[in-house]
Amino acid sequence: MPRLLLILALLAPSAAFAQDGPTLLKTMDEAMARSDDMTFRYDVLNQEPGAEPKLMQLRVWVKDTLRLTEFEAPGDMKGTKALVQGQSKMYIYLPAYKKVRRVSSSLSSGGFMGTTFSNEDISTSEYSPYYDAVLSSQDDVAWTLTLTPKADAQVGYSKLEVKMAKKFEVPLEIKYFNSKGQHVKTETRDGTSCQGKVCTAEVMTMTDHTRGDASTSLTRTEWEVNTGLDDGLFTTRTLTQ
């Protein structure tokens, strides 16, 4: 009997990891969606090796899986807008051409407006519909989840490693792996703060290891929660207004 108990004890951790991974991932998705809507302003610092840093400012409106981004600076980007209506549905408005164009799903891995965030990164507001999860490790601060795409998921990464804060239940770090299993990007989310039960990071930084560690940092300067954003804001008509 003692030997059987020992065997069960040795098996228990892996069984718990397999069982808890999906639950934790769903909990993380729910933690990121606790508000009815949110509005942000960000200062953006884009840094490429050998180039002068580029400073930008943008405003972001979020409701459920809908997201509208408008660039407010610099002057040559002012008025440029991006509308996300789902994981694979994005539109871009360029004021110089006064036209709205849909971004092809085949370009989801491309850089978003010259940043190190891809169109897919910007469009992803939840992970459990697209990834299976296993709890691979944990410490006093965070759980580490290993995510792999579901069989029918149309995603650009072969694996994600997500550190999920135990205190806030939101991501602290995400490592992205390509189809060859190479670690290609790292996203960090620092300075998490909350309004009620709604918690977001003050600074989000994406580092692209395939581009000499080029990086884009978004520093939150304003943040409003539950202001009653109308669904009509998230339409292609809004992009031209």
Give the CATH number, domain containing residue 117.
2.50.20.10
Is residue 6 included in any domain, yes or no? no
3-state DSSP call for residue 108? coil
Strand partners of residue 145: 135, 162
Distance CA 120, CA 122 (A): 5
Q: What are phi and psi of 231, to 5 degrees?
A: -60, -30
Per residue of the chain (241 residues), give pLDDT as tens: 455 544 444 444 444 444 599 999 999 999 999 999 999 999 999 999 999 999 999 999 999 999 999 999 999 999 999 999 977 789 999 999 999 999 876 455 567 888 999 988 988 999 999 999 999 999 999 999 999 999 989 899 999 999 999 999 999 999 999 999 999 999 999 999 999 999 999 999 999 999 999 999 999 999 999 999 999 999 999 999 8
3 in any annotated domain: no
Q: Is the pTM of this model over 0.85?
A: yes
CA dist 80 and 68 (Å) reads 11
Structural domain contains residue 142:
yes
Other C-beta atoms lying within 10 Å of the C-beta of residue 229 = 19
pLDDT of 112: 87
Q: Say if 24 falls within a structural domain.
A: yes
Alpha-carbon distance of 4 to 215, in angstroms, equals 52
The Cα 229–Cα 67 span in angstroms is 11
Question: Is there a domain that residue 1 lies in?
Answer: no
Three-state secondary structure of 163-197: EEECCCCCEEEEEEECCCCCEEEEEEEECCEEECC
Answer whether residue 9 is part of any domain: no
Say if CB 89 and CB 104 are below 8 A apart. no
Work out the burial of residue 234: count CB atoms within 10 Å of its CB; fewer than 13 is exposed, 13-18 middle, 19 or more buried.
buried
Q: What is the DSSP string of 217-235?
A: EEEEEEEEE-----GGGGS
Peptide bond into 95 cis (omega under 30): no
Instruction: Please answer whether residues 10 and 200 qualify as being in contact, where contact means their C-beta atoms are separated by less than 8 angstroms.
Output: no
**How much is the pLDDT for 104?**
73
3-state secondary structure of 152: coil
2 within some domain: no
> Residue 160 to residues 18, 72, 203, 218: CA-CA distances in angstroms?
16, 32, 20, 21
What is the number of domains present in the chain? 1
8 Å CB contact between 39 and 58 = no
- Give me the domain span that covers residue 56: 14-239
Max intra-chain CA distance, the chain: 77
